[in-house]
Amino acid sequence: MKYLLYLLLPFATLCSAQTDTVIFETAEDAITHYFEGLTENKFSKVLEACAVNEIAENFDFAFNVQTMGNMMMLEPSPAPSNYPFYAELNKVQIASAIARQVKFFSLALLSATELNSLPIMNVNEASTAAFIEQVNPESLAGIELKSIAIPNQEATEKDFYLQISSRVAQTYGADEASERVALFSFENDLYFIGFRLLRYGNSWKILSQDSPLAASEPTGTPKKITPEEFDALISGN
């Protein structure tokens, strides 16, 4: 265990240093900063837009168990945040989840191969070399953020959704929870990804790069979309 902490705690320190010094007055500001981290190939900047420290130190473990009705979610959920030891481990876990989504986003957008949770079969030295060349992250500089909006606005006004959002906020020790979708262009195509966000005091931070309301990919991979489809996604029609 001591060796594990020796490996993990420097990463936890990085997470702490990069996430609690930047204030985002709107959800849109946080998402814009997130995209800047992608296009500049700076994962530290991506983390600045995310609620790593806030979740790690404020996660309400007891309320989460009460909401879920069991503790089977123990492994994917953060540990009780009232212990500094677990709060440090939580930071690593949360940042790692964000890193996984950023990785899937980047590889899926840049690769000519369709990526999913299944292994890619029938590969050889040439195809592997081609894949490595395709996914050069410097190409992410070609991303152009077009629009950020609340998905399915009609649904967000219903009591059922408001109750769910309130529970999400309480689970993560936040004041408010919300969702957004971001439309962006890359190499003459339009894509969208979703975001779940939390407000702590006067600052919005990203919880995760996915939106259940928008049915975006939980892995973080982008989906192609047309302007008309994006408008429908926002309105909920």
Decide if 200 contacts 236 (C-beta within 8 A). Answer: no
In a domain, 147, yes or no: yes
Residues 6+ apart with CB under 8 A from 209: 34, 98, 101, 102, 105, 193, 194, 195, 220
| Cα–Cα distance, 97 to 146 (Å, whole number) | 25
In a domain, 105, yes or no: yes
pLDDT for residue 76 = 76
Could you give the 3-state DSSP secondary structure of residue 153? Answer: helix
Query: Where in the sequence is the domain holding 78, given as residue range(s)?
Result: 2-113+141-235
pTM: 0.88
Decide if 210 contacts 100 (C-beta within 8 A). Answer: no
Give me the DSSP letters along 161-177: HHHHHHHHHHHTT-SEE
Could you give the 3-state DSSP secondary structure of residue 100? Answer: helix
Which token pair is 149? 């909006």
In a domain, 125, yes or no: no
In a domain, 127, yes or no: no
Could you give the 3-state DSSP secondary structure of residue 182? Answer: strand
In a domain, 174, yes or no: yes
pLDDT for residue 70 = 67
Which residues in the chain land under pLDDT 50?
1-8, 11-12, 17
pLDDT for residue 127 = 84
The tokens 């909920």 sit on which residue?
Answer: 236
| Cα–Cα distance, 208 to 99 (Å, whole number) | 10
For 59-158, where are the alpha helices, taking DSSP H only?
61-68, 84-110, 125-134, 153-156
In a domain, 195, yes or no: yes
In the chain, how many domains are there? 1
In a domain, 124, yes or no: no
Q: Give the closest residue to 231 by CA, choosing from 189, 195, 186, 181.
A: 181
Q: pLDDT for 61-89, tens place per residue?
A: 999 888 876 665 556 789 999 999 999 99
In a domain, 70, yes or no: yes
